[in-house]
Structure 1
Amino acid sequence: IFSENMIGPVFFEFIQRKKDDGFGEGNFKALFESIERDKMERGVIENKEN
């Protein structure tokens, strides 16, 4: 669930987790990999593998 934009591009994301103590194994790594992939696709950063 996302809130309306509060100030410019700032918004809040609400996550409900029942009976869960952690964020999820591997989620942070997957998050940063997806951010890096998006930046490479947009040409913001160069692909390190090529």
Structure 2
Amino acid sequence: MAFNDNINGQGFTLYTIDPTQQMFERLPSRFHMMFYKALNDSSHVEEKFVN
């Protein structure tokens, strides 16, 4: 990923402002696709959350 510069050594970059992106920065790459798929998959959303 383009955000893996680790400018301050904490896994965050100065130009990354998206909290979700920052959260994924600190996770192992094998979890990235699993979480991105879950975030983009609406099949698991319950009816009460659908407007």
Counting helix residues as a fraction of each chain, which structure ranks higher? 2
Same fold (TM over 0.5): no
Normalising by the residue count of structure 2, what TM-score does the alignment of the two structures yield?
A: 0.32
Q: Who wins on radius of gyration, i.e. which is larger?
A: 1
Normalising by the residue count of structure 1, what TM-score does the alignment of the two structures yield?
A: 0.32
